[in-house]
């Protein structure tokens, strides 16, 4: 057990994970709990395992392109594996966000003015159609979260980020293109984790996630 009153998620504010956390626990959590953004999915696992956080919310799988690899690997390797006590699905709509100066450069020089596209690795496979016809000469740089990508685009006149519209409320970036995901019905399943208490019975959700991990092992071994 832990006395922590923190609920951690992959930050900074403006990520899809933040949406998941407020969807599950409410806009402001009850019972004196507080939300805390962490830098990586691995940090979320560490926080719940060492008791720094009472709960963490992590992305698990996506309807368009399957497993969130970091989470699958951490669920396999964290000993003992945290208990999975809840889940929530978030509709994922991606936006191209850029600093105002970048938008001006695109207006003057076309999309070739953009040298870099920043986003979370999960995103590339969800926006293949858009990325085939736009920014095809730009380098794709994977970073820890979509909102972190927005912070990089905020400071870089040659870059855009693919992120949630929520990131545009938090950082000084504007919308260049809306809803650029291939599939309009694009959902990510998030899991709510709590520290495993020795001897506790595994929940039904734990078992369904086990099955999913085994199924994925078979797919990748084939």
Assign 3-state DSSP to the chain and report helix, strand, coil percentages, each to 5. Answer: 40, 25, 35
Find the shortest distance in angstroms from Cβ 23 to ligand PPY.
12
Find the shortest distance in angstroms from Cβ 188 to ligand PPY.
4
Which of 113, 170 has the CB closer to ligand PPY? 170
Which of 102, 119 has the CB closer to ligand PPY? 119
Alpha helices by DSSP H, listed for 26-117, are 41-49, 69-77, 100-109
According to the binding rule CB under 6 A, does residue 35 interact with ligand PPY? no
Is 151 labeled as catalytic in the residue annotation? no
Q: Which residue has its beta carbon closest to ligand PPY?
A: 15
According to the binding rule CB under 6 A, does residue 16 interact with ligand PPY? yes
Is 70 labeled as catalytic in the residue annotation? no
- Residue 79, φ and ψ in degrees, nearest 5: -120, 125
- Residue 119, φ and ψ in degrees, nearest 5: -170, 180
Which residues, including other chains, have CB under 8 Å from residue 131's CB and lie 6 or more apart? 117, 124, 140
According to the binding rule CB under 6 A, does residue 10 interact with ligand PPY? yes
Q: Considering 88, 190, 203, 220, which one is annotated as catalytic?
A: 190
Which of 15, 49 has the CB closer to ligand PPY? 15
Which of 62, 196 has the CB closer to ligand PPY? 62
Nearest to residue 37, comparing CAs of 53, 49, 61?
A: 53
Distance CA 192, CA 21 (A): 8
Task: Pick from 22, 49, 61, 122 the residue near ligand PPY by CB under 6 A.
Answer: 122
- Residue 126, φ and ψ in degrees, nearest 5: -100, -5
Q: What letter does residue 99 receive in the DSSP assignment?
A: -
> Any idea which residues carry the catalytic annotation?
188, 190
Residues that bind ligand PPY (CB under 6 A): 10, 15-17, 59, 92, 120, 122-123, 145-147, 188
């Amino acid at each position: 057990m832990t006395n922590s009153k923190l609920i951690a998620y992959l930050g900074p504010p403006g990520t899809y994970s933040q949406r998941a956390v407020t969807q599950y626990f409410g806009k402001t959590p009850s019972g004196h709990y507080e939300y805390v953004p962490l830098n990586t999915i691995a940090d979320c696992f560490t926080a719940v395992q060492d008791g720094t956080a009472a709960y963490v919310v992590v992305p698990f799988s996506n309807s368009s392109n399957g497993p969130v690899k970091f989470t699958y690997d951490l669920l396999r390797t964290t000993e003992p594996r945290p208990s999975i006590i809840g889940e929530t699905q978030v509709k994922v709509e991606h936006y191209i966000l850029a600093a105002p100066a970048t938008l001006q450069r695109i207006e003057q020089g076309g999309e070739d003015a953009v040298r870099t596209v920043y986003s979370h690795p999960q995103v590339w496979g969800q926006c293949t159609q858009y990325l085939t016809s736009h920014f095809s000469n730009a380098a794709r740089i994977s970073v820890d979260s979509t909102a972190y990508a927005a912070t990089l685009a905020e400071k870089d006149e040659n870059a855009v980020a693919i992120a949630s519209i929520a990131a545009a409320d938090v950082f000084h970036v504007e919308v260049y293109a809306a809803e650029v995901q291939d599939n309009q019905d694009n959902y990510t399943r998030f899991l709510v984790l709590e520290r495993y208490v020795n001897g506790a019975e595994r929940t039904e959700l734990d078992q369904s996630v086990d099955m999913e991990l085994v199924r994925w092992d078979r797919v990748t071994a084939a």
